[in-house]
Structure 1
Amino acid sequence: MRIVVSGTHASGKSTLISDFRAAHPEYTVLGDPFDDVESGAPTGAASFVAQRRVTVSRLRESARESSVISERGPVDFLAYLTALEMLGRGDGALLSRAQELVETSMAHIDLVAVVPLDLRHPIDVPDDEDPALREAMESALLDALDDLERAGDAPPIVTLTGNPQERLAQLEMAAGL
């Protein structure tokens, strides 16, 4: 099973992946692409484009592996670029290319696990984490996944809710583990 864990920043993706890896050590973890990108503003279009490239490359390079869990997928960065547009901070020219890469890279994914913000289990973030972008990205991500699902261009998508243990159990069930 090739799983992508999607969600806005500070939504619980890293915790979920860490818990999943502890329970399923046979899985290869593709970590947050942000850790492998050095580009100016961490919440700028250039950073999101670079992270998208890293993500697409990792998914292609690991295509022969059957047990992979990735923190973020190409649709995450389409959502970030869309969110920047929504907030008046974007470059519309980047969106069409991002959309193309999302559609072609979905073939390398068996399951998208979405970790939305959860008011019952909040993760507080400081203002320098750009709360407006965080919320706009989540909205754009959910819309993009809905669009892909309606078009038949998406693998199965599961939305994980609750505390970390509940999210892990939901992911394991969706992955057939």
Structure 2
Amino acid sequence: MRIVVSGTHASGKSTLVSDFALRHPEFAVLADPFELVDESWDTPSAPLFAAQLRISAARLDPGEAAENLIAERGPIDFLAYLLALDDSTGMSNSLELLEHATSMTREALAHVDLLVVLPLTAADEMAPDADEHLMLRDAMNDVLLDLIGDSEVVGGHTKVVELTGDRSHRLAALETLAIGSTR
């Protein structure tokens, strides 16, 4: 089972991945791609998101990754960030970049069994710091929710679910989807 946990920043991804990994050590954990990029890139930008998209897509290649894995973020996250950056800043990314990002996302998601999306909701929203680029956070959330409904991006193989609720509810739902489906 290959799982990707997606959502905007400060949506609970790290917590869910960590909680799941503690209970299911048979799953390899792929950390947030941000941890693998140059630390000098601390401001959201198209090059930063494109680099993370490439990393997140490459690590989902079946020849490169374990059969059972849970990844914090996938290429769809960074496609959403690229599109949200356009929306929130008014600066357009090149059409070529967006087409390539969409293609990479589609190809990578063909190797994902379960895409878990953690949407922002008033009931279970995390409290981000003021320096968390709140406009971009909200814009990315909206774009991501649109993208998961686009069969041209997600394809037909990947099961997509949105999880809401508190920490224990999200973990229980993920376990039911991931472990219950392999028994």
SS in 1 for 2:59: helix
User: CA–CA distance in 1 between the matches of 2:145 and 2:61?
Assistant: 24
Aligned to 1:130: 133
User: CA–CA distance in 1 between the matches of 2:42 and 2:22?
Assistant: 33
CA contact (8 A) 2:62 2:111 kept: no
CA contact (8 A) 1:28 1:67 kept: yes
Aligned to 1:73: 74
Partner amino acid for 1:17? V
Partner amino acid for 2:6? S
User: CA–CA distance in 2 between the matches of 1:60 and 1:34?
Assistant: 18
SS in 1 for 2:98: helix
Cα drift, residue 120 of structure 1: 1.2
Is 2:169 aligned against 1:162? no
| TM-score normalized by the length of structure 2 | 0.89
Aligned to 2:121: 118
User: Which structure has the highest helix share of the two?
Assistant: 1
Is 2:28 aligned against 1:28? yes
Aligned to 1:83: 84
Q: 1:166 to 1:132 in 2, by over 3 A?
A: same
Partner amino acid for 1:140? V
Aligned residues: 177
Aligned to 2:18: 18
- Deviation per residue, 1:111-140 (Å, 9 max, x gap): 000011121122111221100000000111
Query: For structure 2, which runs of at least 5 residues remain unmatched after alignment?
Result: none
CA contact (8 A) 1:6 1:13 kept: yes
- Deviation per residue, 1:61-92 (Å, 9 max, x gap): 66562210000111111100010111213413
Aligned to 2:55: 54
Query: For structure 1, which runs of at least 5 residues remain unmatched after alignment?
Result: none
User: CA–CA distance in 2 between the matches of 1:54 and 1:152?
Assistant: 20
| TM-score normalized by the length of structure 1 | 0.92
- Deviation per residue, 1:9-66 (Å, 9 max, x gap): 0000000000000110111000000011115343111110111111111111665622
Q: Structure 1 vs Structure 2: percent identity of aligned residues?
A: 46
Cα drift, residue 108 of structure 1: 1.3
User: CA–CA distance in 2 between the matches of 1:91 and 1:55?
Assistant: 20
CA contact (8 A) 1:114 1:157 kept: yes
Greater shift, 147-156 or 120-129, is seen at: 147-156
